[in-house]
A and B are shown apart, each in its own frame.
Chain A
Amino acid sequence: MNRPIYMDNAATTRTDPRVVEAMLPYFTEVYGNPGSRNHMYGWESEAAVDAAREQAASLIGAGPKEIIWTSGATESNNLAIKGAAQMYAKAPLGSTGRGHIITAIIEHKAVLDPVKRLEREGFEVTWLEPGTDGIITAEMVRNAMRDDTILVTIMWANNEVGTINEVPEIGAVCREKGVVFHTDATQWVGKMPTDVDRDNIDLLSWSGHKIYGPKGVGALYVRRRKPRVRLQAQMDGGGHERGMRSGTLNVTGIVGMGAACAICAEEMETERERLLGLRRRLETELSSRMDVVAVNGHADRRLPHLTNISFGFVEGESLMMGIKDIACSSGSACTSASLEPSYVLKGLGLGDDLAHSSLRLSLGRFSTEEDVEIAIEGIVKAVEHLRRLSPLYDLHQEGIDINTIEWQAH
């Protein structure tokens, strides 16, 4: 059986062979613990970690001392959100009124769940909802600000739809109010130009494996000046990473993430254009060859490599079954015990019929025009097959609006 073509780069990416090459010596030749201060083995590993720190910092316009290595974006988010909330809390653990946090319902679980935990621990939370374009705006954040707001955490680009929030503007509002601003930039960094000073960011999370680096390594940017941001450590131990994240450094992973950052910085501009061309081709072909096809989220404010498309009158899981040659994500979570459609798509105000039938296609460095061709043909074939079976498509063709029918929900 041929392996399906890979269109799930928002889930993870293939490690770039150049990255693997850069990592290899650090398994068997340079294997010292960067914390070993007394011998050459330690020094050379530390030098490698520092070089990677420069590469990571330079990708986002930060200084190397502002980079904390972690195990991935989930850990970075946890450290940023819990670490900042605990550091800037207005009352001690066990009391209420510990401070106000602003976030959005379309965040990744790695942000939602830490914030929910803080909510249980005495912080108050405003959960912003986007408009139908999927964007969280600076105005929404400004209107939610309170005197006791201590933290705003808004993702840069959404992982399911690819919509881009007003991050620099939200950062400016936070700066004006003196509130710490964290952004989960996992889908953004490495793909789009980033400058933490220009973009008013205090804390920024990203990971290695979304940018053609290895899995199991990530980074958190922590602003050191204007203003200096402090965090309470979530992992206690040997005091690594300026005391913010203890644990022996994952040298091979860090070297890989550094190399991945350097390649992204180098190739970002041309890659962006190329991917945008491929994405547009996907969207135009699919929506011109079939009716009732909706590209979800804002028309322009979206990542170049990611598209989320709904196919009316077709159910998501059966659509996935029909496109076995394409590895991608379904917007619907109906594959397991949960029969709820994607909470992000519902957040966009998409009706249940459309939220049930969407695909997330995410392109990457190794995607080709041929891949896009195969995907278009495969999806058209599957949707047409399922529409021949769909009683809802019949009703649509008879001119009956399915939202006006009284269904016998089971």
Chain B
Amino acid sequence: MAYSEKVNDHYDNPRNVGSFGTSTEVKERKDVGVGIVGAPECGDVMQLQIKVGDDGVIEDAKFKCFGCGSAIASSSLATEWIKGKSVDEALKIRNTQIVEELALPPVKIHCSVLAEDSIRTAINDYKQKNGMAVEADHAHAH
């Protein structure tokens, strides 16, 4: 499959790879929200971690991804986009924007959906840890 230049660039030079500690450590950190979506048998697992400041702004974001090039690029791009945004602004990112930015073909749209889900899951995790109200699930633009 031929990928867009942007997908290739994220694949070769993924941004913000990593995590803020082991899976047990991040569970206990209140300033960190973790989103893990997907399943190994589907060929995609995305892990997004956000570090949120006292002002509710995402100071830093890290990702790890088991998946195809489009999945890697979608999650790498997601970290770039959410850094510096407040959690509520970050929740407004839609998968369709990711599709457009990376020029994903129709068979790879699910990768962008996963990336959007990982953002929301990470933010919800952060909010729950801090006793904040969690927004209800909504439909994706597939």
Chain A: residues with CB nearer than 8 A to chain B?
Answer: 313-318, 321-322, 332, 334-337, 339, 341, 352-353, 356, 388-395, 398, 400, 402, 407-410
Contact call A391/B45, Cβ cutoff below 8 A: yes
Shortest C-beta distance, B111 to chain A (Å), equals 10
Contact call B47/A391, Cβ cutoff below 8 A: yes
Contact call B22/A407, Cβ cutoff below 8 A: no
Contact call A321/B3, Cβ cutoff below 8 A: yes
Q: When chains A and B are docked, how far (Å) is the Cα of A316 from the Cα of B68?
A: 7
Q: A389-B17, A391-B36, A398-B22 in contact; A334/B45 too (CB < 8 A)? A: no
Shortest C-beta distance, B35 to chain A (Å), equals 10
Shortest C-beta distance, B117 to chain A (Å), equals 8
Shortest C-beta distance, B20 to chain A (Å), equals 12
Contact call B107/A390, Cβ cutoff below 8 A: no
Q: Describe B's contact surface by its main secondary structure.
A: mixed
Q: When chains A and B are docked, how far (Å) is the Cα of A332 from the Cα of B1?
A: 14
Q: When chains A and B are docked, how far (Å) is the Cα of A390 from the Cα of B64?
A: 5
Contact call B38/A408, Cβ cutoff below 8 A: yes
Q: When chains A and B are docked, how far (Å) is the Cα of A352 from the Cα of B41?
A: 5
Shortest C-beta distance, A98 to chain B (Å), equals 38
Q: A318-B67, A321-B3, A389-B64 in contact; A341/B43 too (CB < 8 A)? A: yes
Contact call B113/A315, Cβ cutoff below 8 A: no
Flag B5-17 by CB within 8 Å of A: 1 or 0 each.
0001001001001
Q: Which residues of B contact A402 (CB under 8 A)?
A: 40
Q: When chains A and B are docked, how far (Å) is the Cα of A212 from the Cα of B47?
A: 47
Contact call A407/B40, Cβ cutoff below 8 A: yes
Contact call A334/B65, Cβ cutoff below 8 A: no
Q: Which residues of B contact A410 (CB under 8 A)?
A: 37-39, 42, 44, 110, 113-114, 117
Number of CB contacts from chain A to chain B under 8 A: 96
Q: A321-B3, A394-B19 in contact; A339/B42 too (CB < 8 A)? A: yes
What size tier do the contact residues of chain B reach?
A: 35 or more
The residue of chain A having its C-beta at the shortest distance from the C-beta of B107 within the complex is A337
Residue from B8, B14, B24, B113 in contact with A389 in the complex, judged by beta carbons closer than 8 Å? B14
Q: When chains A and B are docked, how far (Å) is the Cα of A389 from the Cα of B39?
A: 16
Q: Which residues of B contact A339 (CB under 8 A)?
A: 42-43
Q: When chains A and B are docked, how far (Å) is the Cα of A390 from the Cα of B41?
A: 14
Residue from A315, A336, A353, A408 in contact with B37 in the complex, judged by beta carbons closer than 8 Å? A408
Q: Which residues of A contact B110 (CB under 8 A)?
A: 410
Contact call A392/B45, Cβ cutoff below 8 A: yes
Q: Which residues of A contact B41 (CB under 8 A)?
A: 352-353, 356, 407, 409
Contact call B69/A317, Cβ cutoff below 8 A: yes
Whether B72 sits at the interface, judged by CB under 8 Å, is yes
Shortest C-beta distance, B15 to chain A (Å), equals 11
Q: Which residues of A contact B81 (CB under 8 A)?
A: none
Q: When chains A and B are docked, how far (Å) is the Cα of A393 from the Cα of B66?
A: 9
Q: Which residues of B contact A335 (CB under 8 A)?
A: 1
Contact call A356/B65, Cβ cutoff below 8 A: no
Question: Can you identify 8 A-B contacts, CB atoms within 8 angstroms?
Answer: A313-B66, A317-B1, A317-B69, A388-B17, A392-B45, A407-B40, A408-B37, A410-B42
Contact call A318/B44, Cβ cutoff below 8 A: no
Contact call A315/B44, Cβ cutoff below 8 A: yes
Contact call B66/A314, Cβ cutoff below 8 A: yes
Shortest C-beta distance, A323 to chain B (Å), equals 12
Q: Which residues of B contact A407 (CB under 8 A)?
A: 38-41, 45
The residue of chain B having its C-beta at the shortest distance from the C-beta of A332 within the complex is B43
Shortest C-beta distance, B104 to chain A (Å), equals 13
Q: A313-B66, A394-B64 in contact; A318/B11 too (CB < 8 A)? A: yes
The residue of chain A having its C-beta at the shortest distance from the C-beta of B76 within the complex is A389
Q: List CB contacts (< 8 Å) of B78-135 with chain A.
A: 107, 110, 113-114, 117
Shortest C-beta distance, A385 to chain B (Å), equals 9
Residue from A313, A394, A395, A408 in contact with B39 in the complex, judged by beta carbons closer than 8 Å? A408
Flag B28-67 by CB within 8 Å of A: 1 or 0 each.
0000000011111111111100000000000000001111
Shortest C-beta distance, B106 to chain A (Å), equals 9
Q: For the A-B complex with A337-B107, A395-B23 known, give 20 more contacts whose Cβ atoms are closer than 8 Å.
A: A316-B43, A317-B43, A318-B67, A321-B8, A321-B11, A321-B68, A322-B11, A352-B41, A356-B41, A390-B64, A394-B19, A394-B64, A407-B38, A407-B40, A407-B45, A408-B36, A408-B39, A409-B38, A410-B37, A410-B38
- The 4 nearest A-B residue pairs measured at CB: A407-B39, A352-B41, A391-B64, A391-B47
Q: When chains A and B are docked, how far (Å) is the Cα of A313 from the Cα of B67?
A: 9
Q: Which residues of A contact B42 (CB under 8 A)?
A: 339, 352, 409-410
Q: Which residues of A contact B3 (CB under 8 A)?
A: 321
